[in-house]
Amino acid sequence: MALGALIGAYQEDESGGLTALLPLAGRSLIEYQVRSAAAAGASPIVVLVERIPAALNQAFERLRGEGLNVVPVSDGNEAATRFEPGELVLLIGDAIVPPLDLLTGLVDEQEALVATVPDDERHEDFERVDGVSRWSGVALVEGRMLGATAAMLGDWDLPSTLLRRTMQGGARLVPVAEESEPLLARNAEDVARFERSILTASRGGRDDLASRYVLPLAEDFATERLLDTAVRSEWLLYAALALTFGAALCFTRGWLWAGLALLLFSTPLDLIARRIGHIRLRPVASDAAAIRLLWPAAGLALLALGWWEWRHGAGWGALLAAATCAAFAHAFAVERSHTDLPQPPWLFSRRNAILAALPFAIGNRWAAYLVLLSTYAAISFFFVQFVVHRLRGELTAH
């Protein structure tokens, strides 16, 4: 069944400004709400708003620039015309910040429902729906019910009235799991607490030694600082790519420490980009051009280092080691793509390889570093190849 969304954006916060414009993840609350609804598959996304100040209009323009079908309306009748009678409409209350998993969990629903939270002290600011429950701020309503409610509304509050009529129509009450409860934002402090919670949740798993044990502090610090800026995820990916190509250029000139410094600065940038994209509900595509180019760019830097060492005393073995490492690293990546099994964090990775250069750089043993790195890549390749072929053999046997 088609799914639309209706979001309220007309209430004021404690400071007198629109709650919809409270800052969240470097943008505004309304942008987070719209992206959440879009991630659940809703279109169009209608925003009910009495007035559109310049900041709110700019938020709508940014959302449209992302290709989202967001439509601001000023009254319930206009909102109702945007949906088909047989369509389900995702209703998100004003100032409600819904966790994404709550909305995506409603995608397969085929009938009206009201998501509820307990009627207790912790939820006293939520609207009561019966003796034991309060409205979480999220519901699925029928398009025909929206149209009928808007027709008889008058000066009543549309979301609240629509909620009541939906319940009278026999909608199911579905309790929300505690970990998926929405936030009712009243001020910037409430939103800041929610932002910190999603910042923590965005860490996710890390699959190599560097990102698991060395980079978390820098990654957390940079993510938190950049989140409240206009910096986009893709900019960080392009920066990582530019730093890697810059390192390759430095190696060809013999500026070995400068090249290594550029590579070190590049190591957390793709992780930070993914986290910011996740928090802003604009996830970085795994096949994005900048992501795919990071690996060959690192290989180019490696070959540039091998070329410099070959030309300046280390002999042809340095270039051969660099080329061997690049070949095994590519083969390792190909083999690894053939299995979804979790791999040990010590296996070869771009970040592990870069951080491994530090002790060799301190001792000015760059050629030894290239030999060690080629051995490291080879061991990782043969390990993963063994795992993949053993898995194929087990599947064939069964």
**Residue 9 within a domain:** yes
Residue (of 207, 203, 199, 234) closest to 351 by Cα position: 207
- Position 262 pLDDT exceeds 80: yes
Q: Is the pLDDT of residue 156 over 60?
A: no
User: Same structural domain for residues 249 and 344?
Assistant: yes
Assess whether 75 and 181 both reside in one domain.
yes
Number of domains into which the chain is organized: 2
The answer on 169 and 237 residing in a single domain is: no
Q: How many CB atoms lie within 10 A of CB 69?
A: 16
Q: Which residue has the higher pLDDT, 173 or 396?
A: 173
Alpha carbons 273 and 271: distance in angstroms, whole number = 5
Residue 152 above 80 pLDDT? no
Structure tokens at 108: 């397969």
> For residue range 86-110, what is the model confidence (pLDDT) as tens digits?
889 999 999 999 988 899 888 888 8
Q: Which of 9, 31, 8 is nearest to 18 (CA)?
A: 9
Instruction: Compute CA distances 192 → 154, 162, 308, 337, whole Å.
Output: 36, 30, 50, 38
CATH number for position 344: 1.20.120.1760
Does 140 share its domain with 18?
yes
Are 51 and 83 within one domain?
Answer: yes
pLDDT classification of 391: cutoffs 50, 70, 90: low
177 and 227 in a single domain? The answer is no
Q: Quick one: 182 and 216 in the same domain?
A: no
Tokens linked to 381: 């390749």
Checking if the pLDDT of 5 tops 90, the result is yes
Which among 298, 292, 291, 295 is positioned nearest to 244, based on CA atoms? 298
Residue 374, Cβ density class (10 Å: 0-12 exposed, 13-18 middle, ≥19 buried): buried
Instruction: Identify whether 36 is part of a domain.
Output: yes
Q: Is 197 inside any structural domain?
A: no
Based on the domain organization, do 362 and 217 belong to the same domain?
A: yes
Residues 210 and 352: their CA atoms lie apart, in Å, by: 5
The per-residue pLDDT for range 47-56, each reduced to its tens digit, is 999 888 899 9
Given 147, 162, 189, the domain boundary residue is 189
Q: What is the mean pLDDT of residues 243-272?
A: 97
Is the distance from CB of 86 to CB of 23 less than 8 angstroms? no
Tell me the per-residue pLDDT of 173-191, one tens digit each, with 9 for 90 and over: 999 998 888 999 888 888 8
Closest CA to 305 of 347, 355, 253: 253
Which residues span the domain enclosing 308?
A: 206-397
Q: Considering the entire predicted model, what is its pTM?
A: 0.84
**pLDDT by residue (tens digit) across 8-45?**
888 887 777 889 999 988 889 999 999 999 999 999 99
